[in-house]
Structure 1
């Protein structure tokens, strides 16, 4: 009887040894080499029958596209598990997977510290206007046009979506700057730190926060979660930090809030149409822009790769994939 196959759909950068040590005991590893979706459907899949588990990295989208319903429906009936490398899994149609009995996982804890560090950089840069200061320095303008900024010390940090990343960021802001931390989730988070105060409505959080940091996943109910109404509910001169997903924010409404001065500053690591960044954002010296750097460290990327592999290991061992999201 032939062994199951495990498809590596995307890039492995740091755990090339681990993938064989961890997964080969459960099946034969095959690597995605399809340049197009059509090749994947007509050539690759017929050549590789018996795929049970899939390790997926976003880099595979460059070749076969995202795991939308069309792609999920072309997978063989043998597929039981898709282990996605990443905390956000909006590139996978989880409803289509569920309809076919395919379990999907993600790697939330593996990205906590690296993404929280990115959020902390954005937060500090926004309060202190370090982006404009650096632009001045590079343009040999010293402090021209640089009024005093603000200290983050003692300010109110509002976390929208208190999970692993938000908790690490909140802890660092509390410990380093004595910031008061409030948060909003659909319901109070079990095990949330006692110093993090729960706000039952998003509006309450927005009205009280000096800085709002977004950490919620992108789903239909969170698309455009922060729009014109929500910006109006914020304190005058508030700061917005987004390391979640670009589409969680109505970008036009954010730009309007920056123009009006309702937002003092914004720190962005994510955008609605990556890798494109809306050109108008470059005109704001009070906006710090990063090219989705949240997990761009060797340590976090290896941790994510191994975490995704371990999700598959658990699936093969128990029939229930680790970190299951669908």
Structure 2
């Protein structure tokens, strides 16, 4: 049985599937040629990440497909309901990358709080000649400990962010219309732990009281979650991180808030026009940037591969 992992698959997943008799193909097939390739090679299982689009035209044109798998959480690049209406199994790996995404949130937070994103740009160019000037310009860094982090979306990733924040000594507040209370277990290296219950509250309260805001929500069907009105509610000097989905934040409103000083810095892993983000966003001195790498750790990719392999074998009842 042939599996096309069109956006790649970790070796652990390839090995697990190969041991069960699957032929795993990791050739990157261009989107325009994908229908032909699937049909020509009788592909029964298509695995993707965020790059490959699996729309109804592809689904209709490829009758051999039995399973579509997304290595990651969000499935906006797959017409999930339509595929399932055609009796195609659609799977993803929602738990595999939570820790990696949460750690990236704090990479952006630490970067912005201590101007690392800006100093890493300027030090290679000006460090030898303007060292003292640069040092002076970065003297107003801030600590995360004791500050309030507002988490919008308390699913798996949001709860992992809360766990790290509590370990850092931060106050955690959260908004989620689907989660009333989250019980967070913070485990320390010597197997000691504490449990902290976090009651969610209306979004407006989180926007007003947080020093740092991080978003962990799906793509929005009815406009932005954070736009000009929401920025107006926030504290002056707030910082915001988006490692969820592009389009959750109105980037024009974000640029205005950054330029006006309302927002001190932003950390972005996702963008409205991926894979061609706005030049204004890419070059703004107050924005820490990564190219949609939330799940791009060796550990997360290992878990994703193994999770997909396990689900495929379960669906096909392969022991």
Taking structure 1 as the reference length, what is the TM-score of the superposition? 0.83
- In structure 1, what is the equivalent of residue 87 of structure 2? 101
**Correspondences of 1:210-289 after superposition (within 5 Å):** 210-221=211-222, 224-289=224-289
Q: Which residue of the other structure, out of 41, 48, 56, is the alignment partner of 1:69? A: 56
The structural deviation recorded for 1:35 is 4.2
Q: Compute the displacement of 1:75 (Å).
A: 2.5
- Contact kept in structure 2, 1:226 and 1:250, CA below 8 Å: yes
1:9 equivalent to 2:10? Answer: no
Q: How far apart are 1:244 and its partner, in Å? A: 0.7
TM-score normalized by structure 2? 0.84
**Unaligned regions of 5+ residues in structure 1, if any?**
319-326
Judging changes above 3 Å, is the alpha-carbon distance between structure 1 residues 276 and 39 closer, same or farther for their aligned structure 2 residues?
A: closer
Q: Using the TM superposition, give the Cα deviation of residue 36 of structure 1 relative to its aligned residue in structure 2, in angstroms.
A: 4.5
Distance 2:291 2:301 in 1: 16
- Runs of 4+ with deviation above 6 angstroms: none
Contact 1:14 1:298 in 2 (8 A): no
CA distance in 1, matches of 2:67, 2:121: 47
Q: What's the offset of the Cα at 1:208? A: 1.4
How many pairs were matched up? 300
Q: Which has the higher contact order (CA 8 A, sep 6+)?
A: 1
Question: CA 1:214 to 1:72, structure 2 compared with 1: closer, same or farther past 3 Å?
Answer: same
**Unmatched 5+ residue regions in structure 2?**
185-194
Judge conservation of contact 1:83–1:311 (CA < 8 Å) in 2: no
Q: 1:321 is matched with which residue?
A: none
Deviations 1:151-181 (A, max 9, x none): 21111111111122222222112112x1111
Q: Does 1:183 align with 2:174?
A: yes
Contact 1:55–1:309, Cα closer than 8 Å, also in 2? no
Query: Aligned with 2:201: secondary structure?
Result: coil
